[in-house]
Amino acid sequence: MTGTTPPGRGSGGEAEREPRAATTSGTGTGTTGSSPVPSAVPVLTDGAPPPPTRRFWSVRRVPAALLAAVILGCAGLLLYDVAAVRADRSAMAWRRDLADDLATRPLDNAWVLAGAALAVLLGLWLLVLALTPGLRAVLPMRGAHSDLRAGLDREAAALTLRDRAMEVSGVQSVRVAVGRTKVGARAVSHFRDLDEVRADVERALETGIDALGLAHRPTLSVRVARPPRKG
């Protein structure tokens, strides 16, 4: 009688083992299975340079409307006169006189030179309007997004800086002029030393200019004087 050895026991049997779950580790946490884990999460960087800020361009509706009206009137009048001549009617007197003057008047005539100079000046004026942005009263502000632009009126900036300068002890009155590249302040102090008042006014205006958030920081010029004597 021979004995049998159960599977898994003894030296001759094959051992049955349960498969173990494979463990993979990602960055920071461990997950079970073979699915890939992203190593990092993309985030926006805070140190990205701001987009370039340009001046605001004026639409210049008034010059464009005037030029369009003049061209439309002249073209319409000339077209009417040409159509009248084609219809076997006499041309207008102004066109006959103009044609005779252009045919007989010399080029060095004073009226011809004056008309040419006027045409040149008008052309230069139109070129300047087309190539310059305009809107000098609006100061561009810093922006973090290219699709969002903000501007500050120069008079509002001057009023804000004037209020800051008036908070300085010893300042009786102050006038602030804000330009595109320079801020000028003239203060009147009725007590305290002028150098101390000037330093305090400069410090207050420097802080105020930084708070305006302008794209191009203007330079600062401060003058402090005593009030004029009466009598």
Percent with pLDDT over 90 in the chain: 36
The pLDDT value recorded for residue 36 is: 53
Distance CA 122, CA 116 (A): 10
Locus of tokens 């000028």: 184
Summarised one tens digit per residue, pLDDT across range 46-82 is 455 556 677 778 888 888 888 899 999 999 998 998 8
Q: Is the four-CA dihedral 78, 83, 84, 88 of positive or negative sign?
A: positive
CA dihedral 38, 44, 47, 50 (to 10 degrees): 150
Q: Is the four-CA dihedral 5, 11, 13, 18 of positive or negative sign?
A: positive
Q: Give the three-class secondary structure for 114.
A: helix
- C-alpha distances in angstroms, 147 versus 50, 134, 194? 12, 21, 46
The pLDDT value recorded for residue 48 is: 54
More confident residue, 193 or 102: 193
Query: pTM score, two decimals?
Result: 0.59
Identify any residues that bridge with 107 across adjacent strands, giving them in sequence order: none
Summarised one tens digit per residue, pLDDT across range 181-206 is 999 999 999 989 999 999 999 999 99
Locus of tokens 């997950």: 31
The pLDDT value recorded for residue 108 is: 86
User: Which of 51-55, 56-60, 106-110, 111-115 bottoms out in mean pLDDT, i.e. has the lowest?
Assistant: 51-55
DSSP string, 89-114: -PPPHHHHHHHHHHHHS-TT-HHHHH
> Residue 8 above 70 pLDDT?
no
The pLDDT value recorded for residue 47 is: 52
- For the record, the structure tokens of 25 come out as 């580790």
More confident residue, 198 or 97: 198
Q: What secondary structure letter does DSSP report for 141?
A: B
Q: Give the three-class secondary structure for 214.
A: strand
Q: Is residue 32 very low, low, confident or very high in pLDDT (cuts 50, 70, 90)?
A: very low
**CB count in 10 Å sphere of residue 123:** 10
- Rounded mean pLDDT of the chain? 79
